[in-house]
Amino acid sequence: MEIKRVYEKLNKVELKSEKIELGLIQDIEAEISNAGKGARKGIDMIEAAKKPLENSLKQNENLLKKIAKTKKSAIELGANDVLKKVQKFETQVDKNIKTIDKILSNIY
């Protein structure tokens, strides 16, 4: 009779441990699924941001060329007020290009 009780207790303990293990596995599966969803969403957002960034880079590079021509003309004409404004624009556009380049290089 004593052996029967030992086996009953062992069976209960084994079932409890199997339930706990199954619960942990289900928790892990759910967390993996959620983590994957977040990663996929983030990757999709990054992919969607590439095209506008590439377009902005091209626009800023073209703008920098126009600024260089305007700067040259302002120097030739001695238009110091215009030159100061153009230099501010040049600094800002150059900063934009560097920032966009850095972002794009991290994406690729």
Angle between helix axes 80-107 and 2-77 (nearest 10 degrees) is 160
In the block, tokens 């029967």 appear at 4
Mean pLDDT throughout 30-47?
90
Q: Which residue has the higher pLDDT, 2 or 97?
A: 97
Question: Could you tell me if 46 and 107 are in contact, meaning their C-beta atoms sit under 8 angstroms apart?
Answer: yes
Per-residue pLDDT, 19: 62
87-96: pLDDT as tens digits:
999 999 999 9
Examine the pLDDT at 5 and tell me if it is beyond 70: no
Please state the separation of Cα 41 from the chain's center in Å.
10
Mean pLDDT of the chain, nearest integer: 86
What are the extents of the domains in the chain?
2-107
